[in-house]
Chain A
Amino acid sequence: MRIRVHFYSYCKDLTGCASVSECVEPASRIEDLLQKLFVRFPKLAPAQKSLLVAVGVDYQGADYVLQEGDEVSLFPPVQGG
């Protein structure tokens, strides 16, 4: 299935784009998607430990099972204010 992935802040700089479409197997987890993205965008991999992940408008952990139509966002720690 295809998952839309959006990048924010310096994740956008590391990947060189604001969003991509990635193909994953059914029942894949976020951690599976991340591994694919780290291969596709090697500059993103070193930021792995600090990356935050959201599906839609809610934070999700690496174990979250992706579903058709999910929109995933990847970003560094937030710093509003």
Chain B
Amino acid sequence: MRRELEITTDEIDEVALLQRRKFTGDMGAVICFLGVVRGAEEGRPIAAIDYEVFDRMARRQLDLIFDQVEKRWPVASVRLVHRAGRVPAGQPSLWVETIAPHREEAFAACQFIIAEMKRLAPIWKKPCPV
């Protein structure tokens, strides 16, 4: 399984990510998820979210999650980009792509990665008021 992981303070460049997408002949489903910073948290408007990341451990935990994906589904490719630092409202903070032969496993793997990331990857967010 191809795997790519990026934790970055730069904006997520969707065009560049799409250009680097690789298919094999038996892959029929691509799921691409984009998580975007909302303009409000708990009913209050915010300007941005500040993401704090324990980088080395986040990479380790995400790699373990990818190991689980590889064991559970016939997924050909997993790519994940997570922002660190200040992300303004309206900008993506998370980009996840899974490629698999069929949509069931591509959707399931993508959901699994995001759910497990939220449970295990040491990343915290602090809303920045307007």
Contacts and interface: CB of A to CB of B under 8 A. Distances in A.
Interface of A: 8-9, 52, 54, 56-59, 73, 75-76, 78-81
B77 interface: no
A79 B54 contact: no
Contacts of B57: 54, 56-58, 73
Interface of B: 35, 51-54, 56-61, 82, 93-94, 114, 117-126
B66 to A, nearest CB: 15
Given A8-B52, A57-B60, A73-B57, A78 B122 contact: yes
B34 to A, nearest CB: 11
Q: From DSSP, what is the main secondary structure of chain B's interface residues?
A: mixed
Given A8-B124, A57-B60, A80-B82, A75 B54 contact: yes
18 contacts: A8-B122, A9-B52, A9-B124, A9-B126, A52-B122, A54-B122, A57-B60, A57-B61, A73-B54, A75-B54, A75-B124, A79-B118, A79-B123, A80-B51, A80-B123, A81-B93, A81-B118, A81-B123
B48 to A, nearest CB: 15
